[in-house]
Amino acid sequence: MTPKAQQEIENADVVVGYKTYVALVQNLIKSTAEVVSGTMGREVDRAKIAVTKALENKNVVVVSSGDPGVYGMAGLVLEVAAAEEAPVPVEIVPGVTAATAAASKLGAPLVSDFAVISLSDLLTPWGLIEKRLRAAAEADFSIVLYNPQSEGRKEPLIKAYEILLKHRSSSTPVGVVRQAGRHGEQSVITTLDRLLDCEIDMVTTIIVGNSKTKVLGGRMVSPRGYNLSC
């Protein structure tokens, strides 16, 4: 969380969000604030409530995890606000996204070009996700995988693993980070061929190195190409 995000939550008249995320910031919400929290899958309803409350001149905060502009609520809130006849002022407050939070735990795997791909096919067709995986793997990007796998959704990660292995050496360093920056944080550096042996769930971010990524003193580094001898 950035200091600005913390300040906005502390000043909010209304806090709206997925219940797990609201629980994470509960201690920042003032006692007089109205809290609208709910389940996964009700994002459109929550965005509409937020916009309605903002039109009542309330100071509304919509909470996402990490950065609201990275697989978060920022886009949906702007879409819902644009559908209103009256202008709704919306400010997007940046946060620390899982990609960079996870990278910092692993070392420096993203200091060169990288691609970010979500393996959730809830809102994006799987065919398109596969196309993006192939393109990013072929182009030798370091690849960050969000939404990698849940209890009932294991197939996407297996398919992603097979695609990546077609384009990258089995010894490519891979970092797996759970609960980055939160209680219970875990991080592991392994190799691509052993990726599926790791504990991976929906609070995990995976970073697959590029062809130059190496492990130095236990840290994952994707060199930018500096010449160390001069």
Ligand X SMILES: C[S@@+](CC[C@H](N)C(=O)[O-])C[C@H]1O[C@@H](n2cnc3c(N)ncnc32)[C@H](O)[C@@H]1O
What residues line the site for ligand X (CB under 6 A)? 64-67, 70-72, 97-98, 102, 146-148, 177-182, 202-205
Rounded to whole angstroms, the Cα distance separating 215 from 194 reads: 15
Q: For the CB of residue 206, give the shortest distance to ligand X in the complex, in Å.
A: 8
Comparing CB distances to ligand X, the nearer of 1 and 55 is 1
Residue 16 pairs with which residues in a beta bridge? Answer: 36, 62
Comparing CB distances to ligand X, the nearer of 42 and 224 is 42
Half-sphere exposure of 25 (CA within 13 A, CB side): 30
Comparing CB distances to ligand X, the nearer of 65 and 213 is 65
Q: For the CB of residue 133, give the shortest distance to ligand X in the complex, in Å.
A: 15
Rounded to whole angstroms, the Cα distance separating 48 from 220 reads: 42
Residue nearest to ligand X (CB): 66
Strands 214-216 and 14-18: unpaired
Q: For the CB of residue 57, give the shortest distance to ligand X in the complex, in Å.
A: 28
Burial class (CB within 10 angstroms; exposed 0-12, middle 13-18, buried 19+) of 150: middle
Comparing CB distances to ligand X, the nearer of 12 and 177 is 177
Comparing CB distances to ligand X, the nearer of 49 and 102 is 102
Rounded to whole angstroms, the Cα distance separating 8 from 40 reads: 23
Q: For the CB of residue 192, give the shortest distance to ligand X in the complex, in Å.
A: 18
Q: For the CB of residue 74, give the shortest distance to ligand X in the complex, in Å.
A: 9
103 backbone dihedrals φ, ψ, rounded to 5°: -55, -40
Q: For the CB of residue 58, give the shortest distance to ligand X in the complex, in Å.
A: 24
Comparing CB distances to ligand X, the nearer of 54 and 203 is 203
Q: Which two tokens stand for residue 207?
A: 């970073």
Residue 114 pairs with which residues in a beta bridge? Answer: 142
User: How open is the CA angle 22-94-179, to the nearest 5 degrees?
Assistant: 55
Rounded to whole angstroms, the Cα distance separating 139 from 113 reads: 10
Comparing CB distances to ligand X, the nearer of 181 and 223 is 181
Q: For the CB of residue 224, give the shortest distance to ligand X in the complex, in Å.
A: 24
